[in-house]
Chains A and B, each alone.
Chain A
Amino acid sequence: MSDQNSDQKPKAKKTPPKPGEKTRREFLRSGVLAAGVLGASLLGYYPVLQGSALRLRPPGAIKTPLDEQEFFASCIKCGQCVQVCPVYAIKLADITDGFGIGVPYIDAREQACDFSCDGLQCVLACPTGALTHDLNFPADTRMGLAELTRPDTCLAMQGQGFKGQARGADFKGVLRFSEVDRWNPIPLADHPFDLEICDLCVRLCPIEIRIAECAAEAENDEPQNTARVAQKIGNECPPRSAIKLVPMPSDDGVKRMQPVILDGCVGCGVCEMVCPPQIPSLTMNIKKTVDHPGGA
C-alpha cells in the first residue's frame, strides 16, 4: 500500500532496517492505530447500550422515553442551549456518556427547568433541531413524568407543614417567583416558606402556576379579555393540571394530603428540586411521559 519510503536515497544505508522492512513496519503500525482508534470510538456505544446515558433532557429533545438515538444523532454538541437558559438548568454530558458526550441534560434535583424563559429559549437556540421547534409552550414539552417514588419521606403525607428554606440555606438552585420579580429568577434559599401543610410540589409547579395566572386573568372577565383568555387556553395556558394534593383518609384526626401526578405533567423536575426532605419524595421518571405512561 505504501510506497512513501521505498525509494530511499543512498544515505539511508546507515539506518539498519531496509526500506521495505520500514514500510512494512509502518504499515503494520498504521493498522494497529486504525484498530485502536476504531476500538476507542466504539467504546462510546457502551454507556448507550447500558442505558446509563439516559438522562432528563431539555424541553423539545427529540426522543422517545427509551430511545435517545435520534437526539444523540442530531445534537451537534455546541451548548447553545446551555448558554441561553436563564436558570442554568442545562449541563453537557461528559465522556462517560459515550456517544452522549456534549449532549445537554438536566439534573433536576440540582436545578430543574422552571420555564423561566417563557419562550423555550433552548429550543430556539438549537441549530440542528435536536430540540424540536415543533413545540411552542411549556405545556407541550414531554421531558419525563413525575413520580411519587418515596411516599415515606413526603411531609404532606405525614400531615406536616413546612417552615423555612425549601432546600436549606446552602442550596444554589434558583426559581422565578413572579410576585417577587417578574423577569429574574432568585435563589430558592432567598424565598422561605411558612406552610401549614407542605404543598411545595404543587405550589411551585410551573404548569400549576401558569394555570393559576390564566384563571386570574379570566376573572377580570371584561368582554375583550375573555376572548384573549379563550385564545390563550391551549396555548400558553396549560390545558391540563400537572399535580394536586388529595386528602387522605385519616383515623387519628391529623390532616394528611397526598401529591397526585396528573396528565398535565411535563416532567420539568421542579417538584423534585423543591421537595424539602433529604431524599425527595418526587423524582422524574425519564422512561415515561404522559403520552407514554407505561414507558416506551
Chain B
Amino acid sequence: MGYISKSFKHLFGYRVARPGKEEQSEELRAIYEAKKGTLSKSDLEKVHIEHKQPYGGKWLKRRWLTLIAVNLLFVVSFYFDIQLLEGALTASRFVGFHMADLNSALQVILAYKVMVLNLFIGTVTVFLLWVLLGGRTFCSWACPYHLLAEWAEYLHLWLAKRKIVSDHSFNRKVRTVFYLLFVVLALVTGYTVFETLSPTGILSRALIYGPGLALLWVLALLAFEVFYSRRAWCRYVCPIGMTYGVVGVISPLRVTYNAEACHHEGDCRKVCLVPHVLDLTIRGGASQVHEDVGADCTRCGLCVDVCPTDSLKYEFKGLSKLV
C-alpha cells in the first residue's frame, strides 16, 4: 500500500490491513524468514541494556524544550513588549510576518465566508511551514495541550498499572465524524464553534493573557483522559490534529522504519500516541525493508528514543541523499 493512501486511512480512522506476502518485497521476506527462531528474549535484553539511556530520551527533551520555548515566546513577547511573536497560537505575527493556525483559519473562513489578505498570507505561510516540517509535528512540538495531556497520560498509565483505572477506547473513525461536524457547524451556524472547545486556543490564551474559567474545561478534559480514556481528545476528537495530519501527508519529514534489526518486541507501540501508525513494526507488518511511518504520526520521537535497535529514525526525504 502506498504511503499516501496508508496515511489517509490512518488519519480517517480506517484500519490498514497487514500487507499480504505478495505485497512484501523479496528482500524483506528474506529478512523476516531469517529472523524465524533467532529472536530470543536474552538477545532483546542485551540490546535493551546497551540502549538504556540514563536520563530519558534526547528527542523527548528537545521536543519539550521546543514546545515550552514556542509557548513562552508568546508570553515573553507580550510581557516585555518586544514584539517578537505577537498574538496567540490561533493567529500571530512572528517579527511582523502573519501566521494563522490552519484549523482556526479554516473555522473563520467557514463561519465568516470571507478571507482577508492578511489571513490568506498567514494561512499560506503556516501551511508551507508544516508541509515542510511534517504536519502533525504541530501537535507534539507546539501544542500546549499536548504537553499537559502527555503528563496526564503518564498518570493514566501509572493508575492503570495499579488497576485503579482502565482505558476505554473509542472508534477512531469518530475523529473524522467530529471533523465533519465542526466544519458543518461553522458553515451552518456562522460561529467558530470549535474554538469554544479548543483546549489549544484556551491554553495558549490563558498563558498569554491570564487564566480564566475556560481552564475548567481543559481540566475536565484532562480528568477524562486520566480516569476514563487514554489521550482521548487528541486521538478521537481534535480537528486541529486532523488538519495538520492531512497537510503533513506530503511532508518530507518523517519517521522511517528499518525492518532489518527490529526485534518486533513492540516497545515503540507502547509509548506511541497513535500506535496504529506503528503497525508496520509488527512482524509481517511492513512491505518494504525501509518504510515510512504514516502521516497520522506526530513525529514526537518517543519511538525513536525507545527503540533498542535504532530501527526507527527521523528522516528528511531528499536531504539524507544530499548530505
Contact = CB atoms under 8 A, between A and B. Distances in A.
Contacts of A2: 171, 173
Contacts of A72: 111, 191-192
A26 B169 CA distance: 7
Contacts of A75: 108, 192
Contact of B119 (A3, A83, A94, A128): A128
A95 B93 contact: no
Contact of A76 (B108, B217, B237): B108
Contacts of B173: 1-2, 30
Given A4-B172, A94-B212, A95-B214, A79 B205 contact: yes
Contact of A102 (B112, B191, B201, B236): B201
A246 interface: no
Nearest to A133: B116
A95 B202 contact: yes
Interface in B169-195: 169-174, 177-178, 181-182, 185, 189-195
A128 B98 CA distance: 11
Given A44-B193, A70-B112, A76-B100, A127 B91 contact: yes
A162 interface: no
Interface stretch (B82-90, B147-155, B249-257, B312-320): B82-90
B118 A128 contact: yes
Q: Is chain B's interface secondary structure helix, strand, loop, or mixed overall?
A: helix
A210 interface: no
A149 interface: no
Interface of B: 15, 78, 86-88, 90-93, 98, 100-101, 104-105, 108, 111-112, 114, 116, 118-119, 122, 168-174, 177-178, 181-182, 185, 189-197, 201-202, 205, 208-209, 212-214, 216-217, 232, 236-237
A78 B170 contact: no
B205 A102 contact: yes
Given A4-B171, A76-B104, A33 B192 contact: no
A73 B90 contact: no
Interface in A51-93: 69-70, 72-80, 82-84, 91-92
A129 interface: yes
Interface residues of A, number: 48
Interface stretch (A34-42, A182-190, A276-284): A34-42
Contacts of A94: 212-214
A44 B195 CA distance: 10
A4 B236 CA distance: 14
Among B88, B172, B190, find the residue whose CB has the most chain A CB atoms closer than 10 A.
B88
A1 B209 contact: no
A4 to B, nearest CB: 5
A95 B208 contact: no
A26 B118 contact: no
A141 to B, nearest CB: 19
A29 interface: yes
Contacts of B112: 70, 73-74, 128
B196 A44 contact: yes
B174 A95 contact: no
B213 A95 contact: yes
A209 interface: no
A99 B197 contact: no
A125 interface: yes
A72 B191 CA distance: 6
Contacts of B122: 127
A101 interface: yes
**Which of A38, A44, A79, A80 has the most chain B CB within a 10 Å cutoff?**
A79
A134 to B, nearest CB: 11
A40 B194 CA distance: 10
18 contacts: A4-B171, A26-B170, A26-B171, A29-B171, A30-B174, A41-B182, A45-B191, A77-B195, A79-B87, A91-B209, A94-B212, A94-B214, A95-B202, A99-B191, A127-B100, A127-B119, A127-B122, A128-B91
